[in-house]
Amino acid sequence: MLPQDWKAKCEARKRVQLDSIPKEWMIEVPPKDQLNVVDVPRQCGLLNALELEITETVDVQAILDKLQRGDWSSVQVTTAFYKRAIIAQQLANCLTEIFVDRALGRARELDEHFSRTGTTVGPLHGLPISLKDQFAMKGLETIMGYAKWIGNYATSDCVLVEILYELGAVPFVRTNVPQTLMWGETMNHVFGRTLNPYNLAFTPGGSSGGEGALLAMKGSPLGVGTDIGGSLRIPSSFCGLYTLRPSYERLPYCGAVNSLQGQESISSVLGPMANSLSGVKIFTKAILDAKPWLKDPLVLRKGWDESEYQLVNHGNGKGLCFAIMWDNGVVKPHPPLHRAMNLTKQALEAAGHRVIDWEPHRMLEIYKNAETIFVADGGHDYREQCEGFEPLIETMSPSTDKHDLALDEPLNKSLVGEPCHRTAYELWQLHAEKRELRKSHLDHWNATVSRTGTGRPVDAIISPAVAYTAVPHGLNTDSFYTTLCNALDYSCSVFPVTFVDPEVDDPHPPHRFYNHEDEHIYKLYNSDLFPGCPVALQLIGGTQEEEAVIGMTEIVVEALNKLNEASA
Amino acid sequence: MLPQDWKAKCEARKRVQLDSIPKEWMIEVPPKDQLNVVDVPRQCGLLNALELEITETVDVQAILDKLQRGDWSSVQVTTAFYKRAIIAQQLANCLTEIFVDRALGRARELDEHFSRTGTTVGPLHGLPISLKDQFAMKGLETIMGYAKWIGNYATSDCVLVEILYELGAVPFVRTNVPQTLMWGETMNHVFGRTLNPYNLAFTPGGSSGGEGALLAMKGSPLGVGTDIGGSLRIPSSFCGLYTLRPSYERLPYCGAVNSLQGQESISSVLGPMANSLSGVKIFTKAILDAKPWLKDPLVLRKGWDESEYQLVNHGNGKGLCFAIMWDNGVVKPHPPLHRAMNLTKQALEAAGHRVIDWEPHRMLEIYKNAETIFVADGGHDYREQCEGFEPLIETMSPSTDKHDLALDEPLNKSLVGEPCHRTAYELWQLHAEKRELRKSHLDHWNATVSRTGTGRPVDAIISPAVAYTAVPHGLNTDSFYTTLCNALDYSCSVFPVTFVDPEVDDPHPPHRFYNHEDEHIYKLYNSDLFPGCPVALQLIGGTQEEEAVIGMTEIVVEALNKLNEASA
């Protein structure tokens, strides 16, 4: 039984959010038929020239340099990004908590410290950082997309926020999530649906979709999301961003709220999202240098390892051998993804690296094991949060009849069946199966040593993160390429490669479909909806190989930049 | 329904074991009333002078040096320890798999390699190593105390064994365990009961009790056991040995068999046991230097960290502050343990370190959470292994009527109740509770910074591993001091301090008992059974702080040695 006024309660909370926006930051929104809004911040007139310069500086190191030299104050930088975030909010509905005074107060304190002492507080001095709604901040509500959680004021900062403050950062907005967090799109009853700034009719992905949309609008220089099955990588793919999915317990999750609390078989992890790879590296290094294990008992006692970043275990970054997973044998990637992989292969070969084909290994078994674990409570956790407060969301489709392109029976349902509440013993058997799969996949990877010509197994795997680019709301069903890394705990990154170009991204002729989901995805591309959407790829390294993954992603990005320059 | 011949099957397997002992290594066993047999190897005449010299060299580094210089051959060293192991077997029944020819064949190959090339195969070249029965070796049975597993021949080496071979070691015996592994004593229907060489009427502890008894007899220079609630530390305490319980997934468990397979909430870990701390360090460093994460996907990508061993995070080992947990508030330690802590305090203060009192924090809650997790399958796993093959063992007491000193209702039963099969969701709630307990305990530890005078929180905690020394078979019920570290994943060591001396270890006057278990343990000491039993303590460091724990244990041991010298 839901209370009759559940909708009214959500609407009231949404009005509180609207009221927290300074009136002078409201803009005239473009006409409804303008679907791509990424240029609106440059056109709407709210940002002055300096604010445009600040917010379009995608290299986070460059922003930090300006702050550290005193060229820009933290108040200037925070104001600039806040205004742009509020524009993003009006167009893409990406925010949850908005706290302008508090953030600017913090920025002012940092500026005063700087002018008083001539020194910075820490390596992130003055930098505004956006946070997915899970990252509790003392005195702010932590709603995480649940009506039940309205009014849930945090009594302390989560460890991540505590450390960010020590490092000198300015947490300045929190960002939207889907109800339950377990969707690859972003919609809940309290804050509504987040849209993709490249096409408002499309999803930015999820569950860190608020971050995805905000960053696509350059409404934040650096955001923090989380990932349990692709929740950092799907929005980064759909919004053209860089991210890092670190291994379990490398970065401090303690004190952040979560869905499926206590589910530790496949742990959710947090990671940075940004418009530059420098942002990803700076965040990861700064947090690891702060020894997060001293505050979070679950974090690995393993600081930033510069030698791993310098790729000492990968031939010092010279003459690497990458393997491309063109197709995982479950769902075939759309043509733009295929082109992106081809571009990457070309770029890497031109830079003196080898590229071989990756042979997918037991992908469906791995996926099924993970999906079964995620619903091992039979959905009890979700129901606990919703019952008596709001309906459990059953589809991300905008219409209750679902989207006309929606897939009736996604593959994960036919693999896993209806969520079934397992016993502890049954869960242990799933763990034993997972261990065997991890060992088998590692052996498979190690066996590539016979094909690489480097004396090492493949240095990294390159694949799509999702088989397609951003799709219309309600149509994102694929997490086959991402879940692999969560299940096996491989550290991995996402990096943007190009944009969909109908001139070159012709539909492929139909192949022999692997399953009905593969067929659905194939047919989706024929609808020719995607021009201008960002196309990104995933780079997969070993477990706890975050530094090397960043180092190797830099190599790939540099190679792609050179290729672009050469063809320009 | 058990098959009528289950006993006969076990007896037949035991006869196969007896037949695997070379006849010329059988000794005349001492009369039944000789309870302390640790000197028998020196007296029985089976070992020649060199073999006695070899086996009484407790410093593992000294043995390796002799091997590396060619002073001793691996065949000599392996033969010497094998003979002594077989003596131990005849007195204390500590072995499972005996494979003399195979081990000596391996030793011969290593000697040939050395004489051919003048080089060693690796850092453990030629060193015999004993292994708890869990560590599967290709071609040998892995029975692990279950009648059902007789005839269970391993088709490959576990990762640990694979690495030990690469490092040049000579696995030479496997050692006994209790049925289910979840006892602090060592008895099963196939191989029988293991006895404590310091008093054959006493238990050597468990579950790594076969290792404990073997090492107490100096029948191995270095053994490997496992620990999920104290299984390395209880036998090390009861047998006067050094050990290290590393944190989860630091050392490679992959391919080893286990009880409660897939139970990952509180993972069993493997660790070294030895008569010298050098053995503990050499094993840990050698395995970590071998990059075990390349073979075992669950192992942390964190090699031996020399700077952590040098205690860079602990004032470089100068002026440390230790905290002694004199009493955990659940069961009060026996007088010899109290004296050992006093000696250690004296020794550390004399060496220029500070010693403060540790305030126990939420000990019963932590214990209850862990014990509830261990039986979250309601005992299903145990029953699966026993049903249709043998009875599930319900007591470690030698008589079916139980020992006359046995405790009717141990505290863990009254805390946890009858094993109850939990749902996955209920298990998740236990995980959430455990996370909160870990954070709370870490904060408690960090708060000691106000009392240490070093500017750091307490560097390590020193406590008993068990509230008493070895006890008569069937009477070991305490795992309150050990389980703390498994539940919170603190790395920790055990080191021997002294022996029970009735001259100085007077019973304490009765205190106000915390619970009936505490009362039972108090009364047990009055029975005055313990003269000559080893007394050991536990040193507790942070999570994944293995190197520092070894480094700090060296400091404690050196301080104790100096104190001994001064008082001698």
Whether B66 is catalytic is no
Q: How far is A441 from chain B (nearest CA, A)?
A: 9
pLDDT digit string, tens, across residues B150-166:
999 999 999 999 999 99
**Confidence at A282, pLDDT banded by 50, 70, 90:** very high
B192 is in an annotated binding site: no
Mutate to test the interface with B, among A288, A431, A435 (most CBs of B within 10 A): A435
In chain A, which residue's Cα lies nearest the Cα of B443?
Answer: A295
Whether B231 is catalytic is yes
Residue A2 has pLDDT above 90, yes or no: no
Nearest to A545 among B264, B301, B431 (CB): B301
In chain A, which residue's Cα lies nearest the Cα of B457?
Answer: A294
pLDDT at residue number A386: 95
pLDDT at residue number A207: 97
Can you tell me the distance from the alpha carbon of A537 to that of A494, in angstroms, rounded to the nearest whole number?
Answer: 6
Question: Tell me, what's the ipTM?
Answer: 0.97
Least confident of A2-6, A77-81, A117-121, B227-231: A2-6
Can you tell me the distance from the alpha carbon of A477 to that of A195, in angstroms, rounded to the nearest whole number?
Answer: 17
- Residue B392, token pair as written in the block: 């599930």
At residue B556, φ and ψ (nearest 5 deg) are -65, -45
Instruction: Show which residues of A are catalytic.
Output: 132, 207, 231
Evaluate the CA torsion angle A63, A68, A73, A78 in order and state its sign.
Answer: positive
**Confidence at B418, pLDDT banded by 50, 70, 90:** confident
Can you tell me the distance from the alpha carbon of B546 to that of B559, in angstroms, rounded to the nearest whole number?
Answer: 20
**Confidence at B402, pLDDT banded by 50, 70, 90:** low
Average of per-residue pLDDT values in chain B: 96
Can you tell me the distance from the alpha carbon of A131 to that of A140, in angstroms, rounded to the nearest whole number?
Answer: 13
Can you tell me the distance from the alpha carbon of A273 to that of A283, in angstroms, rounded to the nearest whole number?
Answer: 9
**Confidence at B557, pLDDT banded by 50, 70, 90:** very high
CB pairs under 8 A between A and B: 134
Contacts of A312 (CB under 8 A, 6+ apart): none
Can you tell me the distance from the alpha carbon of B462 to that of B494, in angstroms, rounded to the nearest whole number?
Answer: 10
**Confidence at B478, pLDDT banded by 50, 70, 90:** confident
Rounded CA Rg of chain B: 22
In chain A, which residue's Cα lies nearest the Cα of B257?
Answer: A432
Residue B278 has pLDDT above 80, yes or no: yes
DSSP-based three-state secondary structure for A130: strand
Chain B residues whose CB is inside 8 A of the A549 CB are none
Q: How many CA atoms lie within 13 A of B549 on its CB side?
A: 29
Q: What is the dihedral of CA B231, B237, B239, B244, to 10 degrees?
A: 60
Neighbours of A20 (CB within 10 A): 14
- Which range scores top for mean pLDDT: A382-396, B450-464, B510-524? B450-464
Residue B132 has pLDDT above 80, yes or no: yes
pLDDT at residue number A336: 97
Residue B32 has pLDDT above 90, yes or no: yes
Average of per-residue pLDDT values in chain A: 96
pLDDT digit string, tens, across residues B110-121:
999 999 999 999
Residue A439 touches partner B, C-beta closer than 8 Å? yes
DSSP code of residue A149: G
pLDDT at residue number A369: 97
pLDDT at residue number B401: 63
pLDDT at residue number A1: 75
- Residue B173, token pair as written in the block: 């015996």
Neighbours of A178 (CB within 10 A): 26
pLDDT at residue number B387: 93
Chain B residues whose CB is inside 8 A of the A264 CB are 264-265, 428, 431
Contact A325, A463 (CB under 8 A): yes
For residues A297-319, average pLDDT:
98
- Which range scores top for mean pLDDT: A527-536, B197-206, B472-481? B197-206
Contact B207, B181 (CB under 8 A): yes
Among the listed residues B481, B185, B200, B444, the one whose alpha carbon sits nearest the alpha carbon of residue B331: B481
Angle at the Cα of B433 from the Cα atoms of B431 and B436, rounded to 5 degrees: 110
Can you tell me the distance from the alpha carbon of A274 to that of A63, in angstroms, rounded to the nearest whole number?
Answer: 13
pLDDT digit string, tens, across residues A354-374:
999 999 999 999 999 999 999
Contacts of A399 (CB under 8 A, 6+ apart): none
**Confidence at A80, pLDDT banded by 50, 70, 90:** very high
Residue A418 has pLDDT above 90, yes or no: no
Residue A478 has pLDDT above 90, yes or no: no
For residues A236-257, average pLDDT:
98
Provide the residue type at B247 as one letter. Answer: S
With an 8 Å Cβ cutoff, are A261 and B293 in contact? no
**Confidence at B409, pLDDT banded by 50, 70, 90:** confident
Distance of CA B33 to the CA centre of its chain: 27
pLDDT at residue number B3: 87
Rounded CA Rg of chain A: 22
Contact B377, B421 (CB under 8 A): yes
| Portion of chain A with pLDDT greater than 90, in percent | 93
Distance of CA B59 to the CA centre of its chain: 18
Can you tell me the distance from the alpha carbon of A173 to that of B50, in angstroms, rounded to the nearest whole number?
Answer: 74
Provide the residue type at A521 as one letter. Answer: I
Can you tell me the distance from the alpha carbon of B41 to that of B29, in angstroms, rounded to the nearest whole number?
Answer: 11
- Residue B9, token pair as written in the block: 């099957």
- Residue A307, token pair as written in the block: 């030698």
Distance of CA B493 to the CA centre of its chain: 10
Least confident of A65-69, A197-201, B70-74, B418-422: B418-422
DSSP B309-328: HTTTTTGGGSS-EEEE-S--
From B9, B83, B132, B332, the catalytic residue: B132
CA distances from B12 to A101, B8, B23, B392 (A): 80, 6, 18, 20
Least confident of A29-33, A196-200, A453-457, B408-412: B408-412
Among the listed residues B322, B311, B314, B334, the one whose alpha carbon sits nearest the alpha carbon of residue B465: B334
Can you tell me the distance from the alpha carbon of B228 to that of A236, in angstroms, rounded to the nearest whole number?
Answer: 40
Residue B52 touches partner A, C-beta closer than 8 Å? no
Can you tell me the distance from the alpha carbon of B294 to that of A510, in angstroms, rounded to the nearest whole number?
Answer: 40
pLDDT at residue number A195: 98
Mutate to test the interface with A, among B268, B289, B362, B425 (most CBs of A within 10 A): B425
- Residue B351, token pair as written in the block: 């060496």
**Confidence at B339, pLDDT banded by 50, 70, 90:** very high
In chain B, which residue's Cα lies nearest the Cα of A546?
Answer: B301
Chain A residues whose CB is inside 8 A of the B425 CB are 376-378, 380-381, 421
* Domains of chain A, first to last: 6-297 (3.90.1300.10), 308-567 (3.90.1300.10)
For residues B205-213, average pLDDT:
98
**Confidence at A403, pLDDT banded by 50, 70, 90:** low
pLDDT at residue number A517: 92
Can you tell me the distance from the alpha carbon of B116 to that of B80, in angstroms, rounded to the nearest whole number?
Answer: 23
Residue B527 has pLDDT above 70, yes or no: no
pLDDT digit string, tens, across residues B169-194:
999 999 999 999 999 999 999 999 99
At residue A356, φ and ψ (nearest 5 deg) are -120, 175
Contact A518, A501 (CB under 8 A): no
Residue B404 has pLDDT above 80, yes or no: no
Provide the residue type at A58 as one letter. Answer: V
Residue B400 has pLDDT above 70, yes or no: no
From B73, B74, B207, B278, the catalytic residue: B207
**Confidence at B353, pLDDT banded by 50, 70, 90:** very high
With an 8 Å Cβ cutoff, are A427 and B260 in contact? no
For residues A14-22, average pLDDT:
98
Chain length of chain A = 568
Phi-psi region of A151 (alpha: psi -120 to 50; beta: other; left: phi over 0): left
Residue B412 has pLDDT above 80, yes or no: no
B 176-235 residues inside an 8 A Cβ radius of A: none
Distance of CA A5 to the CA centre of its chain: 34
